[in-house]
Structure 1
Amino acid sequence: MTSELPQIDEQINQSGETLQRFRGLPPQLKRDLRDLLKHSNNRSSVDRVLHLLKLYDRSIRFISIGHEQSIAPNQELNQNQQKQLSEQLLLLIAELDFACEAGSRLLAIQKELLLGVDAQALIELSLETLKLVITGTHQERQSSQKFLTKLNTGIASILKNSNLTVSQSQSYLDKRIEIRKEFSSLVNQATETLNNNKHLDPCREEFSDIFSQLQVLEEHQKVMEERENTLLEKIKQNENQLSAFYEETKEYRRRLGEQEKRMHLDHLTKVNNRAALAERIDIDYKDWLRSQQPLCCAMIDIDNFKQINDKFGHLAGDKALKIIAKTMQEQLRNSDFIARFRGEEFIILLPNCEQKPRNLILNNIKKAVSELPFKFKNNQISITVTVGATTFIGNDVPEEVIERSDKALLQAKSVGRNQLVWL
């Protein structure tokens, strides 16, 4: 029996995770399942097996009875309410226009709603629609940012050419004015010479006609200069408008960048959220495929965090989460990444990190958190974290690595608090 206990524990974890991934189970049942898997060290293997069997029995009953009968009478959706909700969701989807994959999936949801769905499916489709709206908005924002970047670059190039054109036009205008002045001076000198030399009297009339024509040409030249000067002023006005437009697009780019950052930040802890994790792990995974440099994924859970919430209140728990998240972030390198995964769990990615430094980083995190001076309602308490870690190997994909780090965390929890387990 002693030799078989580890196998039993592993089978319990695998079966529990299989049940956890099943869609459509009641929230309370999933919470009970999470408690069973998280607090494994507080129960014997026999108790865990019996408890897991009860959860499976509840799940089978729920599935066999059907969603409509499992909902309490005061929560049951009548046919009219369900029809209204379905119609409102259809109207919402009809107003959405995403060109990305989210758009295709929204059309598929629209078809499902038109064919008719039950209450449970309606709730699930509503949640999926919300997620697709977030995804589609995020992708549209990225497209807008790319367009603004391209537009900004184009305007910068136009401004540069415009500045050069203005500079050259001004130079040409200055030279033309200078030539006209010299030309005018020569005409004046010739006229004066003609007037002062009486022996040129036979040619005086002919020269007078020529000078008159030259003066007409000079006037034409002056008119052309005025027109060129007006054109130059318009070019300068256009340049000013382009400059203002350029600054405006820069401001939009800045605001889009800030929105992008806010979208990727967890509102409470101010570290990255799961959306940011999905993007970053995809980037690190592709880098790992190319370089085969070590890539570590660690899942960190705050020990007995539920007790803090229950004993001191959720505000105290939120404050502790913020401080712990900041403390963990301070132990990381600039190239490392941390995100809030769920509740009091965090995921850390350590790219290009060999065995010794990654162990040092994770142990430093444990040490730094355990030394934080927490005081709630005049009670001085110590908070610790437990870490389950793994590395990318072989044919791994990100989902498998996250799942393996979760298993490592469960194993670490079964040993006790403030542990680090590699899997």
Structure 2
Amino acid sequence: MSSDQTWKTKYFQELETAEQREAQWKSERNVLERMLVRTSLASAGQTPELDSLLDQIRSDLRKNRVGVESWRQLQEQIDRQIALLDEVATSEVRSVQQSPCVAPLIVAEPADERVDEGDQPEPVVDAEDQSQRLRIARRVGHLLGQLLSQVSLEPDAEARARNLQRALLSSDDWDELREGLNQVADLIVAAVTRSQREFEAFLKRLDERLAVLQEHFSVQSSAQSGREAAAEKLDRSIRNEIEQVGQQLKASGDLQELKQSVSSHLESIGQAVGRFRVEETEREKMLSEQLMAMKEKMVVMETHSEQMRGQMRKERERAVTDLLTQLPNREAWQERLSFEFNRWKRYQYPLTVGVLDVDLFKRVNDSYGHKAGDRVLQLVAKEIKQRLRKTDFVARFGGEEFALLFPETLPENAQVVLDKLRAHVSALPFHFGGDPVMITFSGGIAGFGPDDTEETVFDRADKALYLAKDSGRNCIRIG
């Protein structure tokens, strides 16, 4: 019975591992979907038709009705809209060149590369339009880099993705960039497909191992049935021989004949017992060999399961960690908020939510570049994490926004903590391009009260943040 219980435990552990692997696949898919949503938002605002197609993508993601075939059709429609967008931009440039009110743009050509009169001149793209497209491409390149750090691709697909990322970050050829943007969707589908294949392969291996366990259980059951049948046969033989001895005792009057009969029956009983022992020894030997084989297989399974658990722990940490700041991300925030909310409902200890936002962050990006903006977020995140209590919680909520939880803390006390933190950050010596730059943040906080939910308190904190922004920034307000 103890052995059966052990096998059942192993069986349920394998099922739990399969469920965890499925959760990992869902987490990776969630990351990919968020990346796709951000990419579609970054590309919005070109034409109503293109915006409608991008809205359809986001709608499918929200309603969880993603289909590869339908999305391929969407991609073809998006390709057509981008091509039309390029044609419109070219026609607008030509109309500007032909306008009598605008001097044509003349580009000197080397003598050996001048076009013939019959050739059409290369279309000239408006500088502002080209700059906007390049900014979009750069942003998609950054998002693609984040995607590659959080999911795994086939070696050839990953190499293609790295080349695509370099092109998006460095190329000035719009045709090349447009082709690269078209490949992003294919890479996302490839990543999702690989995760699904890995999960299916894992389930197949699990099914094979469970089949081995089932075979072992079947052999054990057969051996047990054989043992029971042999014992029953031995019992019948002994009873039969004893019964015949009794009948001989009653019927026989000759003592010598009676001795011979008893000896014969005792010899038959001894032979039956001997056969039983031989068969039992063979069964025990067979079961011992099977047990050793199963132990070896279980060692392999346990080693593989431990490797899978370690990999899943790493994947889980990556899935709930913001890559830039190394703080918990939005998904981790939702989990912790739900945990603290349930704890607050049970014990009614004070619980305060805070929302921080770096002031004038876009100005830093526009003036000094995205790398400077990333550095600001990293330093601010580091200072927040170092100056909070171990029981407090901070996550990067998105962009330049951070969300905080203060368990067993009233809003007034949380405001004091954040004011000290705000003063400290504003005094940090930030320098970009040799210029000193003052970095500040604004914040809103709100405490849980009767009839509150996770959403209502966060909304109050968010409104308090906007109140702080409207009050001149670099301050904390209670909502």
> Please, what TM-score do these two structures have when normalized by structure 2?
0.44
If asked which structure has higher relative contact order (CA below 8 Å, sep 6+), I would say 1
